Amino acid sequence: MNFVVLLGLIAVSAVNATPLVPGDNSHYVEGESRYIWMPDGDGVPHLVDLEEKVDTESLKGRNGANNQYWLFTRNNPNNHQLIVNGNANTIWNSNYRANRQTKVVVHGWNSNGNSAINPMITSAFLAVSDVNVIVVDWRGAANGAYTTSVWAVPGVGQFLGNFLTWLVNTTGGNWNNFHLIGFSLGAHVVGNAGRTLGARTPRVTGLDPAGPQWGGNRNALNRGDGTYVECIHTDGGLLGIMDPIADADFYPNGGRSNQPGCGGSTCSHSRAYELFASSVRSNRFTGRRCNNLQEARDVRCTGATLMMGNNQLGKRGAGLYGLVTGGSWPF
């Protein structure tokens, strides 16, 4: 057999081989590998087949119509109140106040409203300001085969956008008070929600937006989904997107695995929402502007500053930013 052909066959079999060590994505080649380990909402890795056929039949039931909207405020910081789209009484009987800022938090794949991202970010916001926090539980579409969840994302985002439109129209709220935050697949959900709203929200934050099956995907989060769109990349090229897709893209510690204190991709991916929660509590992560993506990957950025994360609705900026963080809370 021709030596070059043999090498090619070895390479093909390598990227399609089933990885055996849970959470170890060192085998993964973006756009080529068939399998990748993805964490659920508790950080437990699951082996995902990126070539698994989309279950179009289950998509009929796995859509945004099943979204639940959980309200947390300083009056109910630990126990949510359910707001039901179309039922105004669920607003009037809740602690929602239209004159407050409203933070909307969306989890990722194989997760739900109780997954770690939600209490971490919710408690951070409520610790520093009197706001409404709406956690979007979209477990019906988020759980199950990853490939099918990817297909469900646009509809979930559209339903979220329609819910927020109803909420504002019903309560007389102000669009300038809304901040959408999404992790992994949830980052693409808030992107689609922002698009449905005509980019009226002043700030959209993507926390390590999911990478597999999202490169070149027109439904991915992008800089046109809000007045100001930002991303925090922590596992770029593996579970997250590496390329800049927002107005401002932050690359802490090079934007990829392994993040400080992490032993692999699963931890590095989740680090995005941990860093964001810390930044809300204490606005202290100073990004320096990079001339290009390679500088960001190499942590060699020395340009103008822009703070990573925080809870400021009026935040604005553009470009790629690098910074170094610690390996344990508050980083």
**Catalytic positions, written as ranges:** 184, 208, 269
Res. 155: pLDDT tops 80:
yes
Domains with residue ranges and CATH for the chain: 64-323 (3.40.50.1820)
For residue 17, name the pLDDT band (cuts at 50, 70, 90): confident
Burial class (CB in 10 A: 0-12, 13-18, 19+), 217: middle
> Cβ contacts of residue 12 below 8 Å, gap of 6+?
none
Q: 3-state SS of the chain: helix, strand, coil percent to 5?
A: 30, 20, 45
207 close to 278: Cβ distance less than 8 angstroms: no
Share of the chain above pLDDT 70, in %: 95
What are 162's two structure tokens? 């329609």
pLDDT of residue 10: 36
pLDDT of residue 299: 95
For residue 3, name the pLDDT band (cuts at 50, 70, 90): very low
Mean pLDDT, range 246-260, rounded to an integer = 98
What are 260's two structure tokens? 């400080």
pLDDT of residue 40: 95
Task: List b or e across 14-34, with b for residues whose CB sees 16 or more CB atoms inside 10 angstroms.
Answer: eeeeebeeebebebbeeeebb
> Cβ contacts of residue 59 below 8 Å, gap of 6+?
148, 151, 152
What are 101's two structure tokens? 């800022």
What are 105's two structure tokens? 């938090």
What pLDDT digit, counting tens, does each position of 39-73 carry? Answer: 999 999 999 999 999 988 888 888 899 999 999 99
171 close to 98: Cβ distance less than 8 angstroms: yes
> Which amino acid is residue 241, in one-letter code?
I
What pLDDT digit, counting tens, does each position of 263-322 carry? Answer: 999 999 999 999 999 999 999 999 999 999 999 999 999 999 999 999 999 999 999 999
Res. 5: pLDDT tops 50:
no
What pLDDT digit, counting tens, does each position of 316-326 carry? Answer: 999 999 999 99
Q: Is the peptide bond before 119 cis (omega within 30 degrees of 0)?
A: no
190 close to 223: Cβ distance less than 8 angstroms: no
Q: What is the dihedral of CA 307, 174, 111, 217, to 10 degrees?
A: -70
